[in-house]
Copies of this chain bind each other. A is one copy, B any other.
Amino acid sequence: MSGSTLGELFRVTNFGESHGPAIGCVIDGCPPGMALSETDIQPDLDRRRPGTSRHVTQRNEPDAVEILSGVYEGQTTGTPICLLIRNTDQRSKDYGNILDTFRPGHADYTYWRKYGLRDPRGGGRSSARLTAPMVAAGAVAKKWLHAQYGTTFTGWMSALGDIDIPFEGVEHIPNNPFFAANASLIARLEERMDELRKAGDSCGARIEVIAQHVPVGLGEPLFDKLDADIAYAMMGINAVKGVEIGAGFAAVRQLGSEHGDELTPQGFRSNNAGGVLGGITTGQDLRVAIAIKPTSSIRTPRASINRAGEPTVVETFGRHDPCVGIRATPIAEAMLALVLMDHALRHRAQCGDVTLPLPPIPAATP
């Protein structure tokens, strides 16, 4: 109830602080009999890991995952899977100053007001480091969904600050540090990052994620609409300020005759819906976009107050990460996979017996 558990049937309970002994999660409800080992999980963790390029934080964390339970002789047993990641880069440091002041754009002030105390080391619980266990859990969900339905997840950056990044092809995504589906703009993106670093400033980003080969019928009609659960999962990622499904905010200016996706015996003619109608998957690609705010920790001095309510100035020293959005792509993929996994189990619980008189399944078009 304190919000550290995601999902209803495929439940992931997250624990840990940025600079505590360990972070991790417990997955309850994973179907039994799936082959699983650390090697299924580590690749996605490595994609999110800090220190992989000069554009992201240089914290040196191997983020090596250990499976503590729920797997016997290489197979899931249906019991809780505890995934543990030890924190290794907990440099001793004086946090007295951070403890006393509230960094603008950070959760310092709100944690202090909510709990009356807070762990200031590296942001404590509010650190984006806590997305690592979600990426790990997401890898388990991805594996199961792919085995069952062939579902795949692909994310990319479509804007870095004011630079729009046109989609050229998925093959480019793993070949640059930005997860850009583009090869021609990389030099410009790197240049922008360097400028921001020199200026002691930061910028936002726009990330897109799609799921393909999605089963039809996932999602609940009223509150737990699939798109509502996606919005919840995405907005819960650190620094996210906006979520769109399908046409998103562009739908405001669309006409009904343009927006409503027509159906043909060969499938839908368009995908303004983003793969969801009435909260339930259509079988088309699930299309999600998120807005990520600029990094709050910047070298530029900023006005703030201390715990006594007195004015003060906050500066972040040392290297900083000019765009936290860079590492958000694997996180967004993982969150989408977790939502879909949960709904796949929910759907077969209630509707496992449903058979349709005829099988006219429109293929998923664009």
Contacts and interface: CB of A to CB of B under 8 A. Distances in A.
A50 interface: no
This chain: how many copies in the complex?
4
A227 B235 contact: yes
Contact of A280 (B114, B245, B278, B346): B114
A57 to B, nearest CB: 14
Interface residues of A, number: 161
A270 to B, nearest CB: 10
Interface in A1-38: 1-6, 8-9, 11, 13-17, 20-24, 26, 28-33
Given A69-B21, A256-B105, A291-B248, A115 B265 contact: no
Contact of A69 (B17, B220, B258): B17
A23 B350 CA distance: 22
Contacts of A2: 9, 11, 28-29, 78-80, 220-221, 224, 346, 350
Contacts of A121: 72
A79 B235 CA distance: 19
Interface stretch (A41-49, A170-178, A297-305): A297-305
Given A236-B225, A245-B235, A294 B4 contact: no
Given A9-B350, A104-B260, A111 B221 contact: yes
